[in-house]
Structure 1
Amino acid sequence: MFNTYEQAIDWIHARLRLGIKPGLSRMEWMLERLDHPERRIKTIHIGGTNGKGSTVTFLRYILQAAGYRVGTFTSPYFEQFNERISINGKPIHDQELIELTNVVKPLADELDQTELGGPTEFEVITAMSLYYFAKMSPVDVVIYEVGLGGRFDSTNVIHPLVSIITSIGLDHTAILGDTYEEIAFEKAGIIKNGVSVITGVKQPGALDVIRSKALESNSPLYHLGDEFSTSSRESLNRGEKFSFSSMFVGFDNLETSMIGSHQVDNAACAVMASQILANYYSFMIEEEHIRDGLTQAYWPGRLEILNENPLVLIDGAHNEEGIIALAREINSRYADKKISILFAALKDKKLDKMIGTLEGAADQLTFTTFDFPRAASAEELMEAGSNSGNKNIAVNYKDYLDKKINELNKDEILIVTGSLYFLSEAKPYIVNVLENK
């Protein structure tokens, strides 16, 4: 039994050595012994390559504005591990995490000795979250973010009120497949019989895969651009404005507080989900709740402005699609500025394509690394790029930030981007440098 937070966290992280083990058999084994907590809670399931966390956030804020107590299960954490299991945006307490670890550890120890093998870190945390929301701190609804893929993800033991597949991109191809269609097949694994599914997927082949799975499952499909749509899109200084229409309702001049045209797609999926909850499950969600939720929604590390003048922002563009979206916003919003980008990433990403896109968006591109097992070195990032002359290396990113932030002028922008693990480490340091500038 664990008595301290450090002991509990160390045990959870020690499960990382088991890596990623697709399949639901270990989850089902644990949940049976926990008396099936997944059957005691109302859930919403959100998958997709990019936009999952933002869509979770938009929908959570809408539901909170309507007065609901909303649990969330998300990954990775940004500042504190406890964020992964939260209620109304507040992470669980350290003592609660200790209690949850003491509930799940005996099951993991027993499972270690079976032919199924021991549960992974993500499976352990998923089981903890289900037990927490069902038995320790009941909520009105829980929004579950898929960890990886969908079909064999440990969150796929839930039977949700509605499922959302935000987007499809070529990420985690070694596990999920090399084509949009193969990845869509894995993501579509979260579609359950008779459960409405919402998607913002754009690739025709990937959309066909999702449509086919929805048809097979007798699941009503709501596709952005068909069954619901956005119009009158406009970028604001700190957000986006758009109009929304669906078979249920239409709203003009909705505003988000999150920057990026891709956030309009994520917000629209969240609004559509709120309409399904209101019309089919008697959730009391009014227009004012949607407007308030979208404007209040905040998700750290997503085109987040840390300083206005000079402009310093961070963005967790951790894969090819994320980098493309970032470059699009740079080109549309800041074409008249000198752009300096600090970039760090994990080794298993498509570094050549990501860096190629950044080269076209940056006046100065600086590579660095950080203390993480799968982090690419600055030298590896440099080698993955072209031979253009606008690149250099920062051996120590803190030294770079100290110097760069103090040198910035009003015609320059500093963008720190790449791995979310890197941003979670760099953001507090950037804030500290800005405060002491």
Structure 2
Amino acid sequence: MDTYEEALSWIHGRLRTGIKPGLSRMEWIMERLGHPERRLKAVHIGGTNGKGSTTAMLRSILSEAGYEVGTFTSPYIEQFNERISINGTPISDHEITLLAQKIRILADEMEDMSFGGPSEFEIITAMTFYYFAYVRPVDIVLFEVGLGGRLDSTNIVHPILSIITTIGMDHIQFLGDTLAEIAFEKAGIIKNGVPIITAVEQPEALDVIERVAKEKKAALYLNGREFSGTWLSSTEHGEQFGFQSSFSIHGQLETGLAGLHQVNNAALAIMAVDYLRAFYSFFIEEEHVEKGLKNIHWPGRFETLYEKPLIIADGAHNEEGINALVQTIHQRFSDRNITILFAAMKDKPLDKMIQQLKGVADQLYFAPFDFPRAAQKEDYEPYTDEKSSIVQDYHQQIRLFQKLAKETDVFIITGSLYFISTVKNTAFFSI
């Protein structure tokens, strides 16, 4: 494995092992690497929706304040390297290659062990811990949970702060089919004595979060109770809101991300900043918060890809994400003609997601695409009707929209973040 291409091929080849919940493989790797996870000052961020946006907002604020911020996020949108970044800049191809070489030695050794070789996600997680501990130390690292929390490979970290954004019915085949069961898995990231910030609302899920926090003697900061964000108005590219906690008051702030749900994500990020400032002496002023939120860019989150005609990409990959997208469409484009291009994973609740989209779309297209878990033509056929159809060439559909669209038309590409990544990496946004 001497080249970047060979490194990526090996990493992606581990997808064949599937999802492998459990921490035994990661614990073994960390032991062999000298426990890099113990060398980091980290924030651990889990939840069903909003993890990526909250991570991006917190990173942007801390970067504005002059800190070096490492992030571990998934999936990637524009390039694989962005999963491991410093202040939003992905690490280099050379660094990816060197990290993969380091972890592959251990991965090969694990193949003959009882727990087997690591999954793709475990390999990338191990690369991240090693990188920020030994190769490129930073002031703080933000770790986004991959799946669930309790058995996620990131959960070997002992952070200074944990965040659980929301709870929703997603990945039920792994996490359980009730909100309480899913909340239990998400609450698995709560550590002894480590404060937890959350925007969870459903009583049955919140009961679990509160119980676990009490058992772990972890201070709980709840959105709407210990802190709150209040929406004020929408701007061209984001939302204006006010924020209040026992640590700070902001009369008017603005996010660079659109959608009412981004106010909650921003409130979580600001509460995290307040905590870091109050208990870990991070020097963060009001102007850092203001600029960090306003200047944020997070690919695939209600992102404008093309302005005339208007084409937007939003990775609403589950039922809750679609619900947030629908609210944003109602809020911003109630008087516009809406065309939606939708592609999702076949293990998602397609019926509920499509039903919501049909409520706002004047024309809805389903797009099968090349990905192991992606829904295909036969999965979409039950949902076709006079305004909903399957397209085999979504590139052509987008070009056709660009050619024929009127000023009042909006084209929204949504569903799987893997699909958004595929679309964004195909350079066709010109006629």
**What's the TM-score once normalised by structure 2's chain length?**
0.98
Q: Is the 8 A contact 1:14 1:121 kept in 2?
A: yes
Ranges of 4+ aligned residues in structure 1 off by more than 3 Å: none
User: For structure 2, which runs of at least 5 residues remain unmatched after alignment?
Assistant: none
User: 3-state DSSP class of the match of 2:359?
Assistant: helix
Q: Is the 8 A contact 1:367 1:382 kept in 2?
A: no
User: 3-state DSSP class of the match of 1:327?
Assistant: helix
The corresponding residue for 2:123 is 124
User: How far apart are the structure 2 equivalents of 1:264 and 1:382?
Assistant: 36
Instruction: Give the stretch that moved more between structures: 263-272 or 4-13.
Output: 4-13
Q: Is the 8 A contact 2:231 2:239 kept in 1?
A: no
Which digits, 9 at most, give the CA deviation of each residue in 1:260-318, with x for residues without a partner? 00001001000000010000011111111111100111100111112333221111011
Superposed CA RMSD in Å reads 1.1
Which digits, 9 at most, give the CA deviation of each residue in 1:157-199, with x for residues without a partner? 0011110000011010010011111101000000001111000
User: How far apart are the structure 1 equivalents of 2:230 and 2:93?
Assistant: 44
Q: 2:415 matched to 1:418?
A: yes
The corresponding residue for 2:63 is 64
Cα offset for 1:331? 1.1
User: How far apart are the structure 2 equivalents of 1:338 and 1:293?
Assistant: 33
Aligned ranges 1:336-415 → 2 under 5 Å: 336-383=335-382, 385=383, 388-415=385-412
Cα offset for 1:235? 1.5
Cα offset for 1:231? 2.1
User: How far apart are the structure 1 equivalents of 2:321 and 2:51?
Assistant: 12
Which digits, 9 at most, give the CA deviation of each residue in 1:42-75, with x for residues without a partner? 0000000000000000000010011000000000
Q: Match of 2:134, as an amino acid?
A: K
Q: Is the 8 A contact 1:316 1:423 kept in 2?
A: yes
User: How far apart are the structure 2 equivalents of 1:368 and 1:103?
Assistant: 39
Aligned ranges 1:116-155 → 2 under 5 Å: 116-155=115-154
User: How far apart are the structure 1 equivalents of 2:199 and 2:300?
Assistant: 22
Q: Match of 2:398, as an amino acid?
A: L
User: How far apart are the structure 2 equivalents of 1:244 and 1:375?
Assistant: 39
User: 3-state DSSP class of the match of 1:362?
Assistant: coil
User: 3-state DSSP class of the match of 1:50?
Assistant: coil
Q: Is the 8 A contact 2:77 2:424 kept in 1?
A: no
The corresponding residue for 2:284 is 285
User: How far apart are the structure 1 equivalents of 2:217 and 2:344?
Assistant: 40
The corresponding residue for 1:112 is 111
User: How far apart are the structure 2 equivalents of 1:288 and 1:333?
Assistant: 28
Aligned ranges 1:64-213 → 2 under 5 Å: 64-213=63-212
Q: Match of 1:111, as an amino acid?
A: M
Which digits, 9 at most, give the CA deviation of each residue in 1:302-348, with x for residues without a partner? 11112333221111011100111111111121111111111111111
The corresponding residue for 1:301 is 300
Cα offset for 1:247? 0.8
Q: Is the 8 A contact 2:230 2:263 kept in 1?
A: no
Which digits, 9 at most, give the CA deviation of each residue in 1:82-130, with x for residues without a partner? 1111111111111111111111111111111111211111111111100
User: For structure 1, which runs of at least 5 residues remain unmatched after alignment?
Assistant: none
The corresponding residue for 1:260 is 259
Q: Is the 8 A contact 1:49 1:168 kept in 2?
A: yes
Cα offset for 1:6? 1.2
Which digits, 9 at most, give the CA deviation of each residue in 1:220-241, with x for residues without a partner? 0000000001224311121000
Q: Match of 2:374, as an amino acid?
A: A
Aligned ranges 1:200-239 → 2 under 5 Å: 200-239=199-238
Q: Match of 1:425, as an amino acid?
A: T
User: How far apart are the structure 1 equivalents of 2:172 and 2:8?
Assistant: 30
User: 3-state DSSP class of the match of 1:46?
Assistant: strand
Q: Match of 2:65, as an amino acid?
A: A
Cα offset for 1:143? 0.2
Q: 1:428 to 1:99 in 2, by over 3 A?
A: closer
Q: Is the 8 A contact 2:231 2:263 kept in 1?
A: no
User: 3-state DSSP class of the match of 1:361?
Assistant: coil
Q: Is the 8 A contact 1:379 1:393 kept in 2?
A: no
User: How far apart are the structure 2 equivalents of 1:345 and 1:232?
Assistant: 30
Q: Match of 2:28, as an amino acid?
A: W
User: How far apart are the structure 2 equivalents of 1:36 and 1:233?
Assistant: 46
User: How far apart are the structure 2 equivalents of 1:382 and 1:133?
Assistant: 47
User: How far apart are the structure 2 equivalents of 1:364 and 1:23?
Assistant: 43
User: How far apart are the structure 1 equivalents of 2:184 and 2:77?
Assistant: 29
User: How far apart are the structure 1 equivalents of 2:34 and 2:2?
Assistant: 25
User: How far apart are the structure 2 equivalents of 1:44 and 1:13?
Assistant: 27
Q: 2:406 matched to 1:427?
A: no
User: 3-state DSSP class of the match of 2:196?
Assistant: strand
User: 3-state DSSP class of the match of 2:191?
Assistant: coil
Q: Is the 8 A contact 1:146 1:153 kept in 2?
A: yes
- What is the aligned residue count? 431
User: How far apart are the structure 2 equivalents of 1:6 and 1:190?
Assistant: 34
User: How far apart are the structure 2 equivalents of 1:124 and 1:17?
Assistant: 13
